[in-house]
């Protein structure tokens, strides 16, 4: 048998202190290192206004410069544009257009009645005219 020589003991590992809180990994890129180009914003302001008579106009402004002012727009075009944008917009606009349409229809009826009275008065003048023989 062989005699075993005592081997020197390995030095005891010295304890390493672990940090109290491990550093959290952050997601994404660090701030300020974006490689993307900044997006250029273009500001356009479109104003569409209408009267109680149902006449509409549009104005377009870019920044402080007017591109178009007082451009006549049909009520149908305004209604279609509002429907394309949002139901919240189209409801009140369509109600305003409907009220204007009713006012116009009432005005047309009044003018037709006035025209009919004028025609009757003209017909009576023709029947009673001096060139008519009894």
From the number of C-beta atoms within 10 Å of its C-beta (0-12, 13-18, 19+), residue 73 rates as: middle
Written as six digits, the tokens of 112 are 């037709």
Tokens of 130: 């001096």
Yes or no: say if 90 and 83 are a contact pair by the CB < 8 Å rule. Answer: yes
CB 10 within 8 A of CB 18: no
For the chain, the domain total comes to 1
The DSSP-derived string for 19-41 is PSSPPPPPPSPPTT---SPPPPP
Length of the chain: 134
pTM of the model: 0.54
Cα 129 to Cα 12, 118, 124, distances in angstroms = 138, 16, 8
Residue 27 lies in a domain: no
According to DSSP H, which parts of the chain are helical? 75-85, 87-127
- Coil/strand/helix, residue 83: helix
DSSP 69: E
Q: Would residue 70 count as lying in a domain?
A: yes
By residue range, what is the domain housing residue 57? 45-127
Give the pLDDT score at 16.
57
In a domain, 2, yes or no: no
Output the CA–CA distances (angstroms, integers) from residue 78 to 47, 68, 71, 94, in the order listed: 11, 16, 12, 9
Specify the pLDDT at position 29: 63
Task: Encode the chain (134 residues) as per-residue pLDDT tens digits.
Answer: 555 555 556 555 555 565 566 666 667 666 666 666 777 888 899 999 998 888 999 999 998 999 999 999 999 999 999 999 999 999 999 999 999 999 999 999 999 999 999 999 999 998 876 655 55
Residue 21 lies in a domain: no
Residue 33 lies in a domain: no
């Amino acid at each position: 048998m062989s005699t075993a020589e005592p081997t020197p003991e390995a030095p005891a590992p010295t304890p390493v202190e672990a940090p109290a809180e491990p550093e959290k990994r952050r997601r994404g890129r660090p701030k300020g290192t974006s490689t993307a180009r900044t997006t250029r914003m273009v500001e356009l302001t479109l104003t569409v206004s209408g009267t109680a008579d149902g006449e509409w106009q549009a104005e377009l402004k870019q920044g402080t410069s007017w591109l178009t002012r007082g451009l006549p727009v049909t009520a149908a075009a305004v209604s279609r544009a509002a429907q394309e944008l949002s139901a919240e917009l189209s409801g009140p606009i369509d109600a305003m257009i409907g009220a204007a349409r009713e006012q116009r229809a009432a005005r047309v009826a009044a003018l037709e009645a006035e025209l009919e009275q004028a025609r009757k008065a003209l017909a009576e003048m023709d029947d009673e005219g001096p060139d008519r023989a009894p």
